[in-house]
């Protein structure tokens, strides 16, 4: 595609953007009274304007109905979580019965490992990516310790090739084949939080299952950002948070996927609670757990409806727009951002490089050479909200729901001024 580094060119792209009107559907933070250029939808998505009404409705029902709200609110609370499922299942490519919403991401990964990480003397190793998101590292190592295993021996962390900033699919497949029948579980971030790389989840899943391991995915940076076909890829399980690309609100509920072949299995080990029992029998208060035949069997507690309300609001927007349209815009706006970065690099050479490979969602990670921190501070003060990941990376995620092409052009101008001021060349 042909791009130009000019305001009119960017504004023309905005004028043709079928999703352009959705910018108005979100609240943007301001810096010095001016709307920011928001690049951190990969950390915390913006607040959709429709979400306040969904929260207010719960507060009102609680005020007016109190306990009766569980069953008699306009959207009753006791099965409120089910309202999220049809739209969410589409976002992740699962059947509705394979998807549920509960807890938070790290909690759910632990819960799912209880079911799908069943080490034996022979088969006990876990394979993940090197430098996984710290919470994932802590989670995996602590699970190993719970089973009396030594993480130094039992955790395989797949390295990037020497001198490279990203993996090849073969790096994972070779490591999986090498681990062979010692491998119990593959659990990797489907989109890497640091370099923005999208892994070939289908091929890695196949490779893991071929050697007899279970394969799960942490989709924190994938849900709402990339194409997912969890059912067709035969993924065993997955979990994601909803506060990034899904725009559900800070720290909000996580989603899980459990493949249908694991549903309704009487022997599956699981930590259980009353919300995992069948709805029909739940209030009989019977001593025996009677699991729902869906991923809801992993539910523990009655749902935190105040938290689910903005998630439901955000999902209405996904339902309206659809992943296909989002991904179409994502590819163009990310390519435009890449073009702008390349232009600025040509004008002020040698100060940074993009380390995100071509297999990507909307995040571009920019490795700053030399002292990058002053440039980061400059951008933030100028109203460009980016984030900093140690040791020297700025992540830019132009979320297609609400970022504009004009944002990308204006960012380029600010970046250039920032480089001249902080690097001096
Ligand atoms: C890849 C990855 N894993 C785990 C987490 C932790 O999520 P939570 O704090 O919701 O458990 C995050 C983000 O915070 C993440 O990006
Ligand atoms: N929830 C947070 C609270 C505070 C600071 C960061 C986060 C993030 O979500 C970070 C994100 N997982 C990341 O990829 O960096």
Structural domain includes residue 185 = yes
Structural domain includes residue 46 = no
Residue 133 annotated in ligand binding: yes
Percentage of the chain exceeding pLDDT 70: 100
Residue 36 annotated in ligand binding: no
Q: How many domains is the chain partitioned into structurally?
A: 2
Single residue among 279, 302, 321 that ends a domain in this structure: 321
Question: Per-residue confidence at 371, pLDDT binned at 50, 70, 90?
Answer: confident
Least Cα distance to 88 among 324, 316, 330 occurs for 316
Rounding to the nearest 10 degrees, give the CA dihedral for residues 389, 171, 134, 363. Answer: 40
Average per-residue pLDDT for the chain: 97
Single residue among 278, 300, 321 that ends a domain in this structure: 321
Mean pLDDT over 72-87 rounds to 97
Q: How far is the CA of 337 from the centre of ligand 2 (A)?
A: 23
Owning domain of residue 17: 7-35+322-422
In DSSP notation, 219-270 reads -TTTTTTS---TTTTT-SEEEEESSSTT---TT--EEEEE-GGGTT-TT---
Asked if residue 235 and residue 330 are part of one domain, the reply reads no
At residue 348, the pLDDT reads 93
Structural domain includes residue 1 = no
- The pLDDT tens digits of the residues spanning 245-291 come to 999 999 999 999 999 999 999 899 999 999 999 999 999 989 999 99
Structural domain includes residue 41 = no
- The pLDDT tens digits of the residues spanning 91-126 come to 999 999 999 999 999 999 999 999 999 999 999 999
pLDDT of 19 higher than 80:
yes
Asked if residue 328 and residue 311 are part of one domain, the reply reads no
Asked if residue 336 and residue 317 are part of one domain, the reply reads no
Asked if residue 350 and residue 315 are part of one domain, the reply reads no
- The pLDDT tens digits of the residues spanning 166-225 come to 999 999 999 999 999 999 999 999 999 999 999 999 999 999 999 999 999 999 999 999
Asked if residue 105 and residue 240 are part of one domain, the reply reads yes
Single residue among 321, 345, 376 that ends a domain in this structure: 321
CATH of the domain at 331: 3.90.1150.10
Residue 221 annotated in ligand binding: yes
Asked if residue 62 and residue 18 are part of one domain, the reply reads no
Question: Per-residue confidence at 370, pLDDT binned at 50, 70, 90?
Answer: confident
Residue with tokens 């071509």: 358
Asked if residue 226 and residue 150 are part of one domain, the reply reads yes
Atom of ligand 1 nearest to the CA of 132: 1
Task: Give whole-number Cα distances, 83 to 97, 308, 374, 383, 387, in Å.
Answer: 12, 10, 46, 37, 33
Nearest Cα residue to atom 11 of ligand 2:
43
Asked if residue 268 and residue 123 are part of one domain, the reply reads yes
In DSSP notation, 96-122 reads GGGEEEES-HHHHHHHHHHHH----SS
At residue 142, the pLDDT reads 98
At residue 362, the pLDDT reads 97
At residue 1, the pLDDT reads 86
Mean pLDDT over 311-335 rounds to 98
pLDDT of 425 higher than 90:
no
| Helix 305-321, helix 51-65: angle, nearest 10 | 140
Structural domain includes residue 417 = yes
Structural domain includes residue 47 = no
Can you tell me the distance from the alpha carbon of 51 to that of 188, in angstroms, rounded to the nearest whole number?
A: 31
Mean pLDDT over 294-318 rounds to 98
Cβ–ligand 1 contact at 221 (below 6 Å): yes
On the 0-12 / 13-18 / 19+ scale of CB atoms within 10 A, 361 is buried
Residue with tokens 């690097």: 423
Cβ–ligand 1 contact at 222 (below 6 Å): no
Nearest Cα residue to atom 10 of ligand 1:
105
Structural domain includes residue 367 = yes
In DSSP notation, 190-208 reads SB-TTT-BBP-HHHHHHHH
At residue 293, the pLDDT reads 96
Structural domain includes residue 226 = yes
Mean pLDDT over 312-339 rounds to 98
CB 227 within 8 A of CB 198: no
Cβ–ligand 2 contact at 193 (below 6 Å): yes
Least Cα distance to 369 among 389, 353, 390, 347 occurs for 353
**Residue 33 region by backbone torsions, left for phi larger than 0, else alpha for psi between -120 and 50, else beta:** left
Asked if residue 272 and residue 360 are part of one domain, the reply reads no
Mean pLDDT over 404-423 rounds to 96
Cβ–ligand 1 contact at 129 (below 6 Å): no
- The pLDDT tens digits of the residues spanning 20-37 come to 999 999 999 999 999 999
CB 351 within 8 A of CB 369: yes
pTM above 0.95, yes or no: yes
Asked if residue 170 and residue 213 are part of one domain, the reply reads yes
Asked if residue 331 and residue 315 are part of one domain, the reply reads no
Asked if residue 255 and residue 134 are part of one domain, the reply reads yes
Phi, psi angles (nearest 5°) of residue 389: -125, 125
pLDDT of 144 higher than 80:
yes
CB 405 within 8 A of CB 13: yes
CATH of the domain at 136: 3.40.640.10
**Residue 265: half-sphere exposure toward Cβ, Cα within 13 Å:** 14
């Amino acid at each position: 595609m042909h791009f130009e580094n000019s305001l009119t060119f960017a504004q023309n792209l905005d004028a043709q953007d079928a999703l352009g009107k959705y910018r108005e559907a979100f609240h943007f933070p301001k810096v010095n009274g001016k709307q920011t250029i928001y690049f951190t939808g990969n950390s915390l998505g913006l607040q959709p304007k429709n979400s306040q009404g969904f929260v207010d409705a719960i507060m009102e029902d609680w005020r007016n109905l109190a306990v009766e709200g569980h069953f008699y609110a306009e959207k009753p609370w006791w099965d409120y979580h089910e309202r999220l499922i049809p739209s969410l299942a589409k976002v992740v490519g699962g059947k509705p019965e394979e998807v549920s919403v509960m807890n938070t991401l790290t909690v759910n990964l632990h819960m799912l490992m209880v079911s799908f990480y069943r080490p034996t003397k022979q088969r006990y190793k876990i394979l993940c990516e090197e430098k996984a998101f710290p919470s994932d590292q802590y989670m995996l190592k602590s699970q190993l310790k719970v089973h009396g295993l030594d993480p130094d021996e039992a955790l395989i962390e797949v390295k990037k090739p020497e001198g490279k900033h990203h993996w090849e699919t073969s790096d994972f497949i070779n490591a999986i084949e090498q681990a062979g029948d010692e491998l119990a579980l593959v659990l990797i971030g489907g989109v890497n939080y640091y370099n923005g790389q999208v892994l070939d989840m289908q091929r890695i899943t196949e490779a893991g299952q071929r050697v007899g391991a279970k394969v799960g995915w942490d989709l924190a940076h994938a849900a709402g950002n990339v194409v997912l076909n969890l059912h067709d890829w035969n993924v065993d399980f997955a979990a994601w948070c909803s506060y990034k690309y899904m725009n559900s609100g800070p720290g909000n509920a996580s989603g899980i996927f459990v493949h249908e072949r694991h549903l309704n299995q009487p022997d599956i080990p699981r930590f259980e609670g009353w919300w995992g029992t069948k709805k029909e029998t739940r209030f009989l208060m019977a001593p025996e757990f009677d699991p729902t035949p869906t991923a809801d069997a992993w539910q523990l507690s009655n749902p935190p409806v105040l938290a689910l309300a903005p998630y439901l609001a955000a999902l209405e927007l996904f339902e309206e727009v659809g992943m296909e349209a989002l991904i179409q815009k994502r590819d163009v706006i990310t390519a435009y951002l890449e073009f702008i970065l390349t232009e600025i690099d040509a004008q002020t050479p040698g100060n940074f490089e993009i380390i995100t490979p071509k297999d990507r969602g909307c995040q571009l990670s920019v490795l700053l050479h030399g002292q990058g921190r002053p440039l980061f501070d400059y951008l933030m003060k100028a109203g460009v909200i980016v984030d900093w990941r140690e040791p020297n990376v700025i992540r830019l995620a132009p979320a297609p729901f609400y970022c504009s092409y004009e944002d990308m052009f204006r960012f380029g101008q600010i970046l250039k001024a920032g480089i001249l001021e902080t690097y001096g060349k």
